[in-house]
Chains A and B, each alone.
Chain A
Amino acid sequence: MATLARLQERLPSFKQEYFSRNRFVDEYRRTEYCAAVKIQSWFRGCKVRAYIRYLNKMMVFIQKWWRGYQGRKMFRKMAETAYFIMKMNFYNEMAVRIQKRWRGYYIRKYIHNYYALKKYLEAIALNNETVRKELEEFAEMKEKEEVKKALEREKKKKDYLARKMHYLLSTQQIAGIYNSPCRKSPDPWEMQLKKAKPLRHKKKKIENAMDLPWHTYADSFGFQVMPPLPPIGRQKPQGPFRDTVEVLQQRFKPLEPSVRVVASSSSLRRTQEEEKQEEWRNRIHDEAFMPFSYNVPDEYIPSIQRASKYGQSDYGIKHFREEHPEKWITNKDFLTMLPSIPLFGKFGQAYSRAGQFV
């Protein structure tokens, strides 16, 4: 309560004081306000600037980071690209290498190989040379053969001529035309003629097959309907000859061989064989036919001559004449028909002039 009393006591002063104070405050309010504003503005300015600075700082920070990030990202990308390009280039290069090889190989193998072609053409040229040479040699050989043949032909002709003209050869008495005494040496033909054998007389040859009597070439395939007519178209030979028909009949008479020629050498044996067979075939009974009574074979009776006790005489075997000279009518032996050849009679008994046996 005391307090309240004190306060109450003081109340009027308070009013005064309150008034004075308010007046004082109002007196300074404006300046104070301006000062406050100044301070506040300054402070706030400081604050905002600080904040902006802060913001800026942050922004730079962020940007730095971002840009760094971005840059790194870009770099990475660039590096990647560069790497890719490098790789690409490398691969391309390698591909080119492979393709180069492959294309070279492929084209050389399947399409066009210059070196092979060159080699081939060279080989062909070489081959052509050899072929030409060989053919040349072949032709030469042929020519030589031809020449040789011609020479041979000529020689043959010459030989024939020499044989034909053999009568021109000189004899011991008369000189031939090639061995004229006026010449120093005989003509070479003389030697040729000497070597040659004279030609023999030729038999006249029948020239054309058509002119032959057809009988000679009628072979077994043709039918011979007619007996042969005499061939015609020839000169009748001179002289008193038999009739042509007769001669020709004689001439073209078929061969009449003797029985001996016709028959085979074994025909007798064969006939016997056949007969035996025939007999065997035809007989009714196989057992031999026997007579009713047993037949005793006859005894062997020798001939008188063989049976004589003096034995066989030599007559007719060793001699044909009587051997007993005492029974001869004359005292001479029979004469042989031919006289003996004196030379043979003296053989081995005469001497030659050299004192040796002849």
Chain B
Amino acid sequence: MSQRQVLQVFEQYQRARTQFVQTVAELATRPQNIETLQNAGVMALLRPLLLDVVPNIQQTAALALGRLANYNDDLAEAVVKGDILPQLVYSLAEQNRFYKKAAAFVLRAVGKHSPQLAQAIVDCGALDTLVICLEDFDPGVKEAASWALGYIARHNSELSQAVVDAGAIPLLVLCIQEPEIALRRIAASALSDVSKHSPELAQTVVDAGAIAHLAQMILNPDAKLKRQVLSALSQIAKHSVDLAEMVVEAEIFPVVLTCLKDSDEYVKKNAATLIREIARHTPELSQLIVNAGGVAAIIDCIGSCKGNVRLPGIMMLGYVAAHSENLAMAVIISKGVPQLAVCLSEEPEDHIKAAAAWSLGQIGRHTPEHARAVAVANVLPVLLSLYMATESSEDLQVKAKKALKNILQKCTHLPALEPLLHDAPPNILKHIVGQFSKVLPHDSKARRLFVTSGGLKKVQEIKAEAGSLLQEYINTINNCYPEEIVRYYSPGYSEALLERVENYHPVL
């Protein structure tokens, strides 16, 4: 036998293995094949191939495993149960960069499904090797490693703490300074995932000096990077006043407003979320945002988009208005109320409507001036109809009711209140009639108008229990008018009059 013939056997064997692995990897990209592959015992076959002598086959096997594990958590669990992870972790430290990438991909695919699976990855000591991979020269390896770390940290604070304890944060901060956009994106996303769980974790990220670098990248032309950066900043800022102030001190302010004009919807949403998280904490921070023109930008942003992208902006307006009356006035002056009214009536989804209702309530609850501004925008009937509608969710109903109550208790703008008299339920009517009873004794023109517009008649028709608050208000209103008018408008007056005519005996 010649050397060639001997080699041919090996070549055939290698060719077969390569073909097998490549085909499996190819098949694993299509969801409809997964079931069949699983039933054919692909896991058991791929596992020995991870230890193959030919690196090409190893890599492709890892790739196929990653694709399978990516598909659903059953397969990911099968990877964990098949004791593949220790093998991967071991070779993650040893092999070349292509293998490292593929192995990190498997870890990521396994870890993304559930905290338990991520915990399994942590338990087999993958974090340390992944952190070492973060120090690799190859940006692809770094990217894959930070991606896997981010997916692990995403689940809960213990896992994030584990990632932090492995010392990943300083390296991730280094990664966001790399020139490769993709790596920066993933690293920013991982930082966001780590810092979202608790103030301590966010503080760790801040201590590593991430904010300055993140803030610099706000102006980056790449939309996907911007998304992640803004998300990371908002996750940092959401925990406490101190962290929010740190974020503000990075001079993000006029700059971040430009993101609200971005063509990418998610950039808009994340920018609005960031501003909301900052505005939420204290009146001073809100004031700062108002002074920077953030409210106007947010209002424009709300006007320019639809659906869920609006939500953080709407909530931000509510938070700002809730802090103080001056800030609420600033929102009104920036023409926020009409925009919120549009959201309230246009949006199809209940949770956005609920947010808009809440924000309007926060704006209108301070003084009669505020309530007037809200009432003039014709919000009250909409709120009432939302409260009364049977198809609106419970949360929406509660929010609408609370907003109505807040606004009504301050509202002295009677023309806006009058239409509500006709179709409000008793628990709302109480507040409306109460407002009338407060205003009418002091305003003669309003008294006159109240009669001519039929309000008095409506008030007489209300059936209130004797001694209730509503009855007291009605009495106060009735006391403002001469008795004949009150009697004239009370129901059944015409019959009483006719009866009197019948009973009248003319004196001849």
Contact = CB atoms under 8 A, between A and B. Distances in A.
A45 interface: no
Contacts of A117: 326, 329
B98 A217 contact: yes
B96 interface: yes
Contact of B261 (A125, A139, A223): A139
B329 A222 contact: no
A211 to B, nearest CB: 8
B222 to A, nearest CB: 13
A226 B263 contact: no
Contacts of A259: none
Contact of A225 (B53, B99, B260, B295): B53
Given A135-B300, A142-B263, A232-B11, A223 B94 contact: yes
Nearest to A221: B96
Nearest to B93: A221
Contacts of B55: 214, 218, 222
A146 interface: yes
B210 to A, nearest CB: 26
A115 to B, nearest CB: 13
A124 B291 contact: yes
A203 to B, nearest CB: 23
A229 B10 contact: yes
B326 A222 contact: no
Interface string B333-356: 110000000000000000000000
B14 interface: yes
Interface string A115-130: 0010011001101111
Nearest to B15: A232
Interface in A211-264: 214, 217-219, 221-223, 225-226, 229-230, 232-233, 243, 245
B18 A233 contact: yes
A232 B11 CA distance: 7
Nearest to A120: B326
Contacts of A222: 55, 94-96, 99
B47 to A, nearest CB: 20
Contacts of B260: 135
Contacts of A209: 98
A124 B56 contact: no
Contacts of A221: 95-97
Given A210-B60, A223-B94, A142 B333 contact: no
A146 B263 CA distance: 10
A153 interface: no
Interface in A103-118: 117
B333 A233 contact: no
Contact of B98 (A120, A128, A210, A226): A210
B5 to A, nearest CB: 11
Nearest to A209: B98
A33 interface: no
Interface in B246-296: 257-258, 260-263, 290-293, 295-296
B297 interface: yes
A75 interface: no
Given A135-B257, A214-B55, A222-B95, A128 B326 contact: no
Contacts of A121: 326, 329-330, 333
Contact of B59 (A124, A210, A225): A210
B333 A135 contact: no
A136 B56 CA distance: 53
A131 interface: yes
B258 A135 contact: yes
Interface string B403-440: 00000000000000000000000000000000000000
A157 B51 CA distance: 46
A209 B296 CA distance: 51
A233 B15 contact: yes
B468 interface: no
SS class, residues of chain A in contact with chain B: helix
Nearest to A230: B11
A243 to B, nearest CB: 6
A214 B54 contact: yes
Contacts of A210: 22, 56, 59-60, 63, 98
Nearest to A124: B330
B507 interface: no
B4 A131 contact: no
A127 B293 contact: yes
Nearest to B332: A121
Given A135-B258, A138-B258, A218-B55, A128 B296 contact: yes
A132 interface: yes
A217 to B, nearest CB: 7
A255 B60 CA distance: 31
B416 to A, nearest CB: 22
A127 B292 CA distance: 8
A219 B96 contact: yes
Contacts of B99: 222
B466 interface: no
Nearest to A138: B258
B3 interface: yes
Contacts of A214: 54-56
B373 to A, nearest CB: 12
A315 to B, nearest CB: 65
A214 B94 CA distance: 16
B97 A219 contact: yes
A129 B296 CA distance: 8
A229 B263 contact: no
Nearest to B138: A219
Contact of A132 (B4, B11, B53, B296): B296
A229 B261 contact: no
B14 to A, nearest CB: 6
Given A128-B293, A131-B297, A135-B297, A232 B14 contact: yes
Interface in B51-84: 53-56, 59-60, 63
Nearest to A121: B333
Contacts of B56: 210, 214
A218 B18 CA distance: 17
Nearest to A218: B96
A233 B16 CA distance: 10
Contact of A217 (B60, B94, B96, B293): B96
Contacts of A223: 94
B301 to A, nearest CB: 9
Contacts of B60: 210
B7 interface: yes
A124 B97 CA distance: 55
A253 B63 CA distance: 32
Contacts of A127: 291, 293, 296
A312 B127 CA distance: 89
A131 B298 CA distance: 11
B7 A245 contact: yes
A338 B401 CA distance: 116
5 contacts: A121-B326, A128-B334, A132-B293, A209-B98, A229-B10
Given A222-B99, A233-B19, 14 more contacts: A125-B333, A128-B334, A131-B293, A132-B296, A135-B297, A138-B258, A142-B262, A146-B263, A217-B96, A218-B96, A222-B94, A229-B11, A230-B7, A243-B4
